[in-house]
Amino acid sequence: MAADQNARSLPAAPAPNHAATPIDAAHLTAALRSAFPHLELEAGERRAQAPAGDTRVAVILPCYNEGRTIAGVVADFRAALPDARICVFDNASTDDTSDRARLAGAEVYREPRPGKGNVVRRMFAGVDADVYVMADGDGTYDAASAPKLVAMIVEDRLDMAIGARQNVHQDAHRTGHAFGNRLFNKLYAALFGAEYGDIFSGYRAFSRRFVKSFPALSSGFEIETELSVHASQLKLPTAEIVLPYGKRPEGSSSKLRSVRDGARILGMFMFLLKETRPALFFGAMAGACSLVSLVLALPLVETYFQTGLVPRMPTAILCTGLMLVACLMTTCGLILDSLARSRTEQKRILYLAVSNLAGRRKWG
């Protein structure tokens, strides 16, 4: 009874104030911008500012020491695509690439980690658009052809359009590059089942969902190969069109090296084959081990049937070991092939989950 009286004598707790002062979004955004001036606008805010019904196009240009050419490249793309964002990504250049690009009117970003793959990963993550046009900053690609690539993405409902380089072997490559380009294009068709005339072209256009679902594992210029394999693995709609390709301007030097770059591309081919087609990758090695084991074992078997003896015991042990290795590789290939199929399904689902704004606006 005393407890009830004490409870009644206590003052009532104040009711929680649910009508707190609302947060002013405009002031919060302004405060964040002042504190973090390097941050870009959020994707939703950019969409709100974009004109309704327009396809937002971004031209993304990875550059390394392209101070001699970048201003002209920015101007050419601005003339070809007047409403597009021109974004230059400076990949640890030691010249005045950034300053010249900024003076030409481009948005300039810096990527300190060297390698085109690192730049592409940064570009795809940091730029928000409906259609992306990627080119190099050396002035070899024809900027006037950019609307053709954009039209292929929007009107033909493609996810990747490749600008194959016209007369690339005659006009702008050394003999080693020309031979390697032909060889790797044929090897790509044999390994991954899709035929492209120029898998190393850096002049491409992409849909939004391609860009936002691309994993980008490469760190160097092998990124073009990875882009093609991604499209081949998911069976995405792609197309290729031959476009003009010129020589580098005087005073601008190429960063490519035939032997070194060829070895790196071959290594990337093997890595992507292991990741996307492990049954073929491990099956080929298992077949090689089995063949060597059988070739070495045939004389031993013949001698055994003739004399009942195995005269070269080390060879017999080697043959047994090679055959066991072949069996293990076959098992690994089968297991990893199931995992690769599961990963492909997941990548396809993620790709379909990304909204394609260009598709909603133009394709209906």
In tens, the pLDDT along 87-142 reads 999 998 888 999 999 999 999 999 999 888 899 999 998 899 999 999 998 888 99
At 263 the pLDDT is: 80
Cβ partners under 8 Å of residue 341, min gap 6 = none
Best CA proximity match to 271, nearest among 348, 177, 191, 195: 191
Q: What is the pLDDT of residue 106?
A: 92
238 Cβ contact partners less than 8 Å away, ≥ 6 residues apart: 158, 159, 160, 161, 162, 231
**Residue, of 44 and 312, whose pLDDT is higher:** 312
- State the Cα angle at 146 between 227 and 96, rounded to 5°: 80
Q: How far apart are CA 129 and CA 57, in angstroms?
A: 6
| pLDDT computed for residue 326 by the predictor | 95
Distance (Å, rounded) from C-alpha 125 to C-alpha 297?
55
Supply the pLDDT for residue 15: 47
What pLDDT score was predicted for residue 272? 86
Which residue has tokens 């955004």?
A: 29
Q: Which residues contact 37 (CB under 8 A, 6 or more apart)?
A: none
Give the range with max mean pLDDT: 19-23, 35-39, 277-281: 277-281
Q: What's this model's pTM, rounded to 2 decimal places?
A: 0.73
Tell me the per-residue pLDDT of 73-91, one tens digit each, with 9 for 90 and over. 999 999 999 999 999 999 9
Look at 261 and 331; give whichever has higher pLDDT: 331
Q: What percent of the chain shows pLDDT beyond 90?
A: 40
Determine whether 285 is exposed, middle or buried from the number of CB atoms within 10 Å of its CB (0-12, 13-18, 19+): middle
pLDDT tens-digit series, residues 274-327? 988 999 999 999 999 999 999 999 988 888 888 888 788 888 899 999 999 999
Give the C-alpha separation, 160 to 207, whole Å.
7
